[in-house]
Structure 1
Amino acid sequence: MDKERVKKLVRELIIEIGEDPTREGLKDTPRRIADAYTEIFSGYDSDSELSVQFSEDSEMVVAKNIQFYSMCEHHMLPFYGTIQIAYIPNGRVFGISKLVRVVEKFSKRLQIQERITKNVADEIYAQGVKGVAVMAEGEHLCMKMRGVRNDAQMTSSAFRGVFEDQKTKEELLKAIQNK
């Protein structure tokens, strides 16, 4: 990301909305936004490192309440929530930090919740696990602070491999509900 260009564009936006970019509270805003966007959109340059695995087997591994923060690609406003990931290993397990990094890789982009859910499931499934399920719950500021102005939450899910079987889905839901 070209931070200098972002700073210039933000300065122009400040002027366009009717503000003075030289005003005390706005002087450093273009730099702050350029710095923030470097972090917020770091998913484009991210490597999830899922190839690092440990020899171990388990019937089901569940990582609950992985926080995510993203930016809606339609309004460029934040949405955030939690993701639950369950997978059935095929002789090797991932460190939990690797699962968090996969979530960050896809959430730190202009995005929609449904795509994050699908991308995370696809990335993990591509590593040769027997199955993966990803469920995300999100709150969307694009809906809360504009438009319909409603506090509704959204849930999305993606199931791959053995999790496409109804009995396995039910076992997963029991495991996740036992907080």
Structure 2
Amino acid sequence: MEMTATAALQVIEDVTGPEEVTGPDLEAAERAAREFLQALGVVVDSEGTRDTPGRMARGYAELLSARPFRMTTFPNDEGYDELVLARDIPLRSVCQHHMLPFVGVAHVGYLPGARILGLSKLARVVEHYACRPQVQERLTKQVADHLAEQLQPRGVGVVVEAEHTCMSLRGVRATGSRTVTSTLLGTLRDDAASRQEFLALTGVQR
């Protein structure tokens, strides 16, 4: 079934289906958070923790709620054909395996075709796909694929650098370790010079 760009942005892909996209039930989430903390031996009826389940529920609701937006594009009247790159877009998401945050930056670029994109929308696309339980590899590809589908550029490049608290706060506790993932499409994948320029400008290839 084909969808408009606006409808597509309201679908939570891979992790949940379109029929499951609903607003958060904060009361149910608070009750569940209270039971979860109690099951772990956390006292939740002291002055300092009485409101913690509610804060937990609201915090995760914010982390997992994407804001709707439109992909604003404009005719490329001047025929601009060089790389457009937004570096260091702040990124925060939640690891789907442990439900712990991972934070970092995304570098998103494209080689324009017939249309150019409002620059703020590069950050909006990153935010949209980050606001759900994620793995970094899928997030990187989703951002690139969405731009390629909606903008039809000559090439798309996305690099994500993030620190995963599921790795830095537990398990091996590798504090400061950053994971880097990339997806390159079109000319930025197939042409060595264009690929090198993109990676150099992101700072990944020095």
| Alignment TM-score, normalising by the size of structure 2 | 0.80
CA distance in 1, matches of 2:69, 2:144: 13
Q: Displacement, 1:176?
A: 2.7
Q: Following superposition, which runs of at least 4 residues in structure 1 exceed 4 angstroms of deviation?
A: none
Q: 1:116-169: per-residue Cα shift (whole Å, max 9, x none)?
A: 100000000002111100001110111111111113211000011111122210
Partner of 2:13: none
Amino acid in structure 2 at the alignment position of 1:105: H
Quote the Cα distance in structure 2 between the aligned partners of 1:18 and 1:173: 48
Matched residue of 2:44: which SS? coil
> Which residue, 84, 103, 117 being the options, matches 2:126?
103
Structure 2 unpaired stretches of 5+? 1-23
Residue 168 (structure 1) aligned to one of 165, 181, 194:
194
Q: Match for residue 41 of structure 2?
A: 18
Partner Cα distance (2:42, 2:163) in 1: 30
After superposition, give the CA deviation of every residue in 1:76-132 in whole Å (9 maximum; x if it has no partner).
111111110110111221122111110011111110111110000000000211110
Q: State how far apart, in whole Å, the 2-side matches of 1:19 and 1:146 are.
A: 18
> More strand per residue: 1 or 2?
1
Matches of 2:133 and 2:178 in 1, distance apart? 19
Identity of aligned residues (%): 39
Which of 63, 80, 103 is 2:103 aligned to?
Answer: 80
Query: Could you tell me how far 1:40 is from its partner in structure 2?
Result: 0.4
Structure 1 residue runs without a partner (length 5+): none
Residue in 1 that maps onto 2:75: 55
Deviation (angstroms), 1:48: 4.5
Question: How many aligned residue pairs are there?
Answer: 176
Match of 1:159 in 2: 184
Structure having the larger proportion of residues in helix: 1
What letter corresponds to residue 162 of structure 2 in structure 1?
A: G
More divergent stretch after superposition (92-101 vs 4-13): 92-101
Q: Distance in 1 between matches of 2:61 and 2:186?
A: 35
- Tell me what 2:28 maps to: 5
> What letter is aligned with 1:54?
F
The correspondence for 1:116, drawn from 108, 121, 139, is: 139
| Letter paired with 2:186 | G
- Look up the match of 2:165: 141
* Cα deviation 1:34-82 (Å, max 9, x = unaligned): 2112210013xx44522x1122342210100001001111111111111
Q: TM-score, normalised by structure 1?
A: 0.92
Residues 130 and 47 (structure 1 numbering): CA distance in 2 closer, same or farther, change over 3 Å?
farther
